Amino acid sequence: MAAKHLHSHRPVKGAKPEWKAKAPGIVPPGSQAALREAMQLEGVSPAEFNDLLWIMAQESAGVVNVRNGKSTARGLFQLLHAQYSLNPNGEKSFGNAVEECQGGIHYIMGRYHTASAARIFWEKHHWY
């Protein structure tokens, strides 16, 4: 005879909804133009644009100076507080779309070396 459980079990959680990428087209034209300008200032090949734009779409939907309510992540590329110094003027760069893009480019190129590699990592882990 099986022993009777004296505790209740947690309810079984349903599967998480399948994640879907945000289309880069949601990024406003002004943020797209800022990305192009930042790429030119940083000497980044135009071939990197589509992957950088895709990452921006996932991270902020192209909303300048957006803040994550659950962390210190901020800006178009959602840099954490420890990376704010990657912006040309540190924390003061938030609110300036071009400078936020420059900070994101510095982070991505420093860590992944290409936007394509950063996107591949993002698609696998849903963060970068």
- pLDDT for the residue numbered 18: 79
Return the percent helix, strand and coil in the chain, to nearest 5: 55, 0, 45
Decide if 69 contacts 79 (C-beta within 8 A). no
What is the distance between the alpha carbons of residues 38 and 70, in angstroms, rounded to a whole number? 28
- pLDDT for the residue numbered 14: 53
pLDDT tens for the chain, residues 1 to 128 = 555 545 455 565 554 567 899 999 999 999 999 999 999 999 999 999 999 999 999 999 999 999 999 999 999 999 999 999 999 999 999 999 999 999 999 999 999 999 999 999 999 999 99
Decide if 64 contacts 31 (C-beta within 8 A). yes
| 3-class secondary structure, 67 | strand
- pLDDT for the residue numbered 19: 80
pTM for the model stands at 0.86
What is the distance between the alpha carbons of residues 89 and 80, in angstroms, rounded to a whole number? 15
- pLDDT for the residue numbered 7: 47
How far from the centroid of its chain's Cα atoms is residue 10's Cα? 34
Tokens for 111, please give them: 């860590």
Query: Which phi and psi (to 5°) does residue 67 adopt?
Result: -115, 145
